[in-house]
Every structure is written in structure tokens, then in C-alpha cells.
Amino acid sequence: MAGVPMTIFIPMMVLFIAVTIILGLYGYRNTKKNQHFLLGRNKATSALIALSYGATFLSTSAIIGFGGQAATHGLTLLWLCFLNLALGLLVPFIIFGPRVRRIGRALGASTFADLLGKIFKSKGIRGFTAMLIIIMMPIYAAAVLKGGVNALAVTTGMMDMYDVVLIIVAIIVGLYVVYGGIIAVMYNDVLQAAVMLAGMVIILAVTLYVLPGGLSGSMSTLSTMPMPGTLPGATTLTGVPSFLSKEWWLVVSTFLLGVGIGAMTQPQLVARFMSAKDDKMLNRSLMIGSIFILVIVGIAYTVGALTNVYFQPQGGSFFYVTKTLGKGVDFIIPQYVLEVFSGIKYGDIFICAFIMSLLCAAISTLSALMHTIGAAGGHDAYTVFKTRKRKGVSMAATDEDGAPVEKKDQHSLKVNRSVTAIAMVLVVVYCYLMPNDIIAKATSLFMGMTAAALLPLMSYGLFAKNPKKKVVIPSLIVGTTAYVLWALFINSGSAVFLPICKMLTGNPVLFMEGTLRYVDALVIALPLSAITLAIMYFFTRKSGDEAKPAAASSGSGGTVKKERVSFVPMTKLKKRRRSEFQYRTKQTDVALTNAAQVHGVASTDTEGRTADEGSDSGTETQ
């Protein structure tokens, strides 16, 4: 089937690119220093944070990748909608978000890796987190870019120009991220979120209009249709797979848990919390973001399953697209959009509008990922490398908002931009190396990896009164190692990214029979990481390390040993400044008293009272 008329699509595309460039220039003009590139706190608002968070969270991976998986595995994926809301939005905004904002502000952190490194006073943790982002996030970014280009190429009939489309989209994203920083990213996210919302509402309305019997009739038809693309254990497209079957392990452990839990530790989303000026801004953002995410993912997963009813004469979505047309699962939604709109009035306009929404979904997430990769390399890894021989942490400097900034951080805007540009090239290369039908699995791979390695560590660091590095290092090692080994040698879905097992043994995975090959690495690695942290925390408390900061004296000589005072992350910046002011006032009073005793005059404190007056007032108070 031919694509949309270029006479309609090209003007819409030109208008979209023009607005994108204008917002990119706005970001460029307001990005004068590295802090503007990294956080953009000077331009953040509640609506901006909410829509940017939602547009970054929901990419073509959610619409095309998981929409195609919903067409294959059924409405079970609607549980992912609930997990997206609960674990991807409510928990981060209510539990993690305020602490991330306060602690990040107090410590002068600018990135996710920077935050973890300063909480634990560890360059190693900061460097490891940065390298995890640099190595793993391009896989996710390539999946997002691939999904957007797939949709654009299929619906416009430009499959022969696939490479050209891929390069053009990559250049557009690369330019405004490199020069505009997070300000350009967030403002473009708002534009793209509005287009996404309009496109998804249109596709739902048209789907319910063209399907025979409406929603209830379509559900009845759906429950009787075959499921040719599933594993043993699948029941119906409206039912839940048999418990602990191969299909159950694939859907639940990889799609539901891998993405649902992994959303809580996404560096590109954490950066949105650090951009907020106060907690009220986060609370207002939560309301807007909840509506946006519910609409987008709810429609995507519902329409994905309902495509089977539309393609019922051809044998269902999976059979028609993969067998008859010879395409992959990731092409089900684009093919459905192209065909369902072709039979209605003004269908070409609607197709173009929906193409723009898919493109916006891809660009909004891709731009955030590229910004995060650039910051991890140009800010975190570069700082750790340049300061590898230095020791100690200095927080004497402050930014324009009064928040402390570590002196040794290498604030180089040029380095950040250079690393972002290099990462964009790497992502394009990844697109050509990745197999088909991999968008949803690549998303689950990255999110699962970050959750297994960093979720216990981040939770402990944000909520512990005195977080210790030696408690989390074993957890970090165990979680990362367990996930990598299981993903490369046991799970068949993730082993395709780096076929080491096949090169060593001749088989894709070690266990070709049974259900282990369908169990996602997150189910194994995350519990091991959490248990390791709990054991280390227990033994640290039992050994008496928690009581060491309270010790004030050493030996019988009466010499007071100066203890290093650890920063308590939960303390607000205002409280910290108030304590510092009270300390300076007390020191001034002591100095005045000593001087008065030397000169034999009545001493006064900083409020003008004599020592005797202060003593009398204290007695009266008692």
C-alpha cells in the first residue's frame, strides 16, 4: 500500500522542524554555562517538568514497541499501564522526587551519577554510574530511534529511503540537544507531548469507529482469536497466561517487571526532579503527568490489542504483518495506522498527524537520552578522570541560586556538547547492528539493568541518615554481575544483543530447554542486590560503625579528637544555612567574651547584652 501524499506530509514536517529549530535556538540563547546545559533550573516550571517527564518516559517504545507486543500477547500488557503510573510516576514523584531535589540541591549535584557519587562521597560510584549510562543507554536510544524511523518509513512509503530518514532524524535531534541543552530538550518535549496526545486520541476514536460492534463487540471477538506469535502457556488475547508458563515468564518478568520497576531509576527522569525549584512544583507536575501517561499508554496498549480485530480477515495482526507482509512485530502499529485511515474521509491528514505524534514520541525520548549520555560523559566521567589524583570534597562555591557546587567538578560546556555529538553517531551505528522486533526488549534491558544495579543503592542513599559507601559497593557489584551474566548466558531475549554464549558454546543460551531462558535477569539480579545490601547494612551496624561518629574523646589524656562530621542528606538547605549562621554567632560571642576578660571589661554578646544579663535572663527563664 502506498504511503501518504507528500503534498500534505512535507508542509507539516517543515512546520514541525521550524518550531523545533526555534525552540532549540531559545535553549541555545539561555544556555550560557554548564549548569544551564545540565539542569536548566532557571527556566523550569510545573507544566514543563510534567510534560517533559511524560514525553521522555513514553517513547515510540511504548507506542510502537509495546503496542506491537500488545497485539501479539494481548491485553495482559494493560497491567504495564498500571505499573507505569504506580512505579513510573507516583512512587518517583511522591517518594523519591522531593528527596532527590533537596539532596541534589544541598550537595550541588547536577546529574544522576553526580548525585549518587556525592551522597556516598565516592568517585568510584559516580564513575561506575556514568559508565553504565554511557555503555547501556545507547542501546535504549537506538531502539527509540529505530522505532520512530520504522513508523515514518512505513507510513510514508519511504522504506527505500530508510537510511536517509534515519540520518535526518538523528541530525535534527543531535543539533538541538548539543547546542540547546536541557532547556531546548524540555521545551521541545512540551511541543511533542501535545502532538502525541492529539495523535493518540485520534487513533482511539477512529479505532472504535471502524471496528464492528464497538468496544464490547471487539472484546468478544478478541477473546476467540488465535495467538500465533506466543509461547506455550498463552490463553486468549483478553486473558492472563498460565502461571509460571513460558509465556507468563516472558510477559511478566520481561515486559511488566522489567519496565515497571526499571522506570524508578532512569537517569533522564531523575534529572527532571533536580530541575525543580521546590517541592510544590513537583506536586503540581504530578497531577499533569498522571493524566498524560494514563492517556498515552492506555490508548497504545488497548489499540495494539484491538488491531487483531481489524486484521481478523487476514488471520490477525501477528500473522498478517510478520508472515504475509514479511515485517516484524514493531511494524504492526504503523501498518495498522496506514490501513485504518485509508478508508475514511480526510484519512491522509489524520495519517500525517499520527505520524507526527509517533515522530514526536521518538524525538522527545531520544533527545533526553542523548542529553543524559552527554552529561554522563562530559560532566561525570570527565570530572572523575581529571580529579582522579585529588582527594577530598570542597563545597565552598555556590551557583547563581545559592546552592553549593563542588569546586573540583569540571564544568566544561564544550566537553558536554562534544560527547553528546559522539554519542549520537554511536546510536546511529547501533541502529544498524540491532535485529528486528527488538524495541520493547531493548527498553526492558536498559531499565532492568539500572534497576538491578542502582535501585537498592539509590533507596539506601536517599533515606539513610548516614549512608556508607562500604554498604552499597558489594550490592552494586552483585546486582551488576548477576544481571550481566544472566542476560548474556541464560535469557534468550537479551542474549541476542551480544551473542557471547553462542560464540563460546554454539548455542544462543546455556539452557535451551525449560523455562529459564524466558526468565528476565531483573527477577534474579534485583533480589540478590537488595539482599546483599541488607546483609552489609546489618553487619555494619553490628560491628559498631554506626556509633563511631558519636565518639568524642580518645585516650586518658583528655585530648578531644576532632571527628569528621558527615552530611545528613535529609537536612534542607535553609536549615543548613541557619545552623551555619548560629554557629558563626556562637563563635563571635565566645571571641567577645575572651576579649572582654583580657581587657577587664564587661563582655557583650552579638545582641548587645552583657554576660551577666545573659546569665540572669537564662536564670529567669529556668
Q: Report, in this order, helix, strand and coil percent for the chain, each rounded to 5.
A: 75, 0, 25
Q: What is the mean pLDDT of residues 300-315?
A: 88
Task: Tell me what the pLDDT averaged over the chain comes to.
Answer: 76
Whether residue 525 contacts residue 490, with contact meaning beta carbons closer than 8 Å, is answered with: no
How far apart CA 503 and CA 512 sit, in angstroms, is: 15
Q: Most confidently modeled of 36-50, 154-168, 549-563, 567-581?
A: 154-168
How confident is residue 266, by pLDDT bands cut at 50, 70 and 90? confident
Neighbours of 378 (CB within 10 A): 28
Chain Cα centroid distance, residue 236: 33
Q: Return the SS3 of 523.
A: helix
Q: What's residue 204's pLDDT? A: 87
Low-confidence winner among 182-196, 243-257, 552-566 (lowest mean pLDDT): 552-566
Q: What is the mean pLDDT of residues 583-602?
A: 50
Q: What's residue 528's pLDDT? A: 95
pLDDT at 419 over 50: yes
Q: Most confidently modeled of 112-126, 282-296, 315-329, 363-377?
A: 112-126
pLDDT at 609 over 60: no
CATH 1.20.1730.10 domain position(s) in the chain: 43-382+406-538
Q: What's residue 620's pLDDT? A: 39
pLDDT at 328 over 60: yes
Q: What's residue 390's pLDDT? A: 60
How far apart CA 177 and CA 37 sit, in angstroms, is: 9
How far apart CA 232 and CA 245 sit, in angstroms, is: 7
Share of the chain above pLDDT 70, in %: 79
Whether residue 92 contacts residue 266, with contact meaning beta carbons closer than 8 Å, is answered with: no
How far apart CA 111 and CA 372 sit, in angstroms, is: 8
108-153 pLDDT per residue, tens: 888 888 899 999 988 899 999 999 999 888 888 888 888 778 777 7
Q: What is the mean pLDDT of residues 386-405?
A: 52
**Phi and psi at residue 101, in whole multiples of 5°?**
-65, -50
| Grid coordinates of 223 | 477473546
Between residues 605 and 325, the one the model is more confident about = 325
Sign of CA dihedral 270, 271, 277, 281: negative
Output b/e per residue, 11-20; b: 16+ Cβ within 10 A.
eebeebeeeb
Neighbouring-strand partners of residue 398:
404
Task: Give the CATH fold of the 43-382+406-538 domain.
Answer: Sodium/glucose cotransporter (1.20.1730)
Low-confidence winner among 1-15, 155-169, 540-554 (lowest mean pLDDT): 540-554
How far apart CA 12 and CA 159 sit, in angstroms, is: 20
pLDDT at 588 over 60: no
Whether residue 247 contacts residue 240, with contact meaning beta carbons closer than 8 Å, is answered with: no
397-398 vs 404-405, strand pairing mode? antiparallel
Q: ∠ CA 208-82-319 to the nearest 5 degrees? A: 50
pLDDT at 531 over 90: yes
Q: What is the mean pLDDT of residues 302-309?
A: 88
pLDDT at 394 over 50: no
How far apart CA 527 and CA 523 sit, in angstroms, is: 7
Q: What's residue 477's pLDDT? A: 94
Q: What's residue 553's pLDDT? A: 37
How far apart CA 148 and CA 60 sit, in angstroms, is: 6
451-470 pLDDT per residue, tens: 899 999 999 999 888 888 88
Q: What's residue 125's pLDDT? A: 92
| Grid coordinates of 518 | 524466558
Structure letter (DSSP) for residue 154: H
How confident is residue 431, by pLDDT bands cut at 50, 70 and 90? confident
373-385 pLDDT per residue, tens: 888 888 888 888 8
pLDDT at 25 over 70: yes
Low-confidence winner among 340-344, 416-420, 425-429, 525-529 (lowest mean pLDDT): 340-344
Q: What is the CA radius of gyration of the chain?
A: 28
pTM of the model: 0.73
Q: What's residue 246's pLDDT? A: 86
pLDDT at 44 over 50: yes
**Phi and psi at residue 347, in whole multiples of 5°?**
-60, -40
